[in-house]
Amino acid sequence: MHLVVLAGDGIGPEITAATLAVLRAASERFGLNLRIEEAAVGHAGHRDLNRRMAAAVAAAAGSSDRAALERLGASGSAYIGFAREEPHLFRLAFGPLCANGNDRCTTLRYGRSVTVGAIRCTMTTAGLSCRQRAGHHQGFFVSRQRYVLYR
């Protein structure tokens, strides 16, 4: 039997951990052969994505233009890596969007754009493009078929 445990909103991680411990012990003792796959959803998934992107950006330190490009590229690469490793969470990127940390969420529909700080993201039927509004317009494009980093 294959179980998928979706850790996320509405239940504490200590409850999920205790439940998994019981399931694993029962599987071993009674020969249930449980396959348990864990994944994050909701806020837990967004926290994981934020952690990955922050770590990638922090690794590209410096104040030069080159360092700024490296940070932007690292951020896009971390996002794309996350999307490949966590496709269910990647789909969330095409759903609710909460900009500027407020509670008013909306869906970024095809042909629409949103600006958060110096970054502007536009959704088209081809995919999602996020670029800096000033300077060399660094950023990334991502779709189900491919991704492009603009440096």
3 state SS for 13-41? HHHHHHHHHHHHHHHHHHCCCCEEEEEEC
Nearest to 128 by CA among 109, 144, 141: 141
Residue type, 125: T
Q: Is the pLDDT at 127 greater than 80, yes or no?
A: yes
Mean pLDDT of 14-39: 83
Between CA 43 and CA 40 the distance in angstroms is 8
Selection from 87, 138, 85, 129 nearest residue 108 by Cα: 129
- Say what the pTM is: 0.38
Are the C-beta atoms of 123 and 110 separated by less than 8 Å?
yes
Domain spans in the chain, listed from the N-terminal domain onward: 1-40, 41-150
> Confidence class of residue 27 from pLDDT cuts 50, 70 and 90?
confident
